[in-house]
């Protein structure tokens, strides 16, 4: 997930620089300018969805219970419970196999 966010951020930076170059050559009504502007907005939306921009990290916001993956901002908070659950699972597997 971190790699996906980094890839999106890289694409966003490249698209923004391309947009600045196109703005110097074409008007705002040009199809290439509008296309790259739409791409930039979509990349920003995807980054906000992954990164949880403005999200409260202590409690899940309404509507985020349905999210498939937690945001990057919540990952450190989820690390300890995950490690604890993983440890319990491994202990139970060892007991079951014995």
- The set of residues, in sequence order, having a beta carbon less than 8 Å from that of 93 and lying 6+ positions away, is none
HSE-up of residue 90 (Cα within 13 Å, Cβ side): 6
Here the tokens at position 40 are: 């930039």
List, in sequence order, the alpha helices (H) in 1-98: 2-25, 31-51, 75-97
More confident residue, 97 or 69: 97
Please tell me the predicted confidence (pLDDT) of residue 38.
95
The length of the chain in residues reads: 98
**What pLDDT digit, counting tens, does each position of 39-96 carry?**
999 999 988 887 655 444 445 544 545 566 666 677 777 778 888 888 888 888 888 8
Beta-carbon neighbour count of residue 43 at 10 Å?
19
């Amino acid at each position: 997930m971190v790699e996906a966010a980094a890839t999106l951020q890289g694409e966003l930076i490249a698209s923004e620089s391309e947009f600045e170059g196109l703005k110097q050559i074409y008007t705002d009504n040009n199809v290439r300018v509008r296309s790259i502007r739409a791409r930039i907005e979509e990349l920003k939306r995807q980054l906000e969805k992954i990164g949880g921009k403005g999200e409260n990290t202590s409690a899940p916001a309404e509507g985020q219970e349905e999210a498939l993956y937690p945001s990057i901002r919540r990952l450190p908070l989820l690390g300890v419970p995950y490690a604890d659950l993983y440890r319990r699972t491994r202990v139970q597997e060892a007991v079951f196999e014995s």
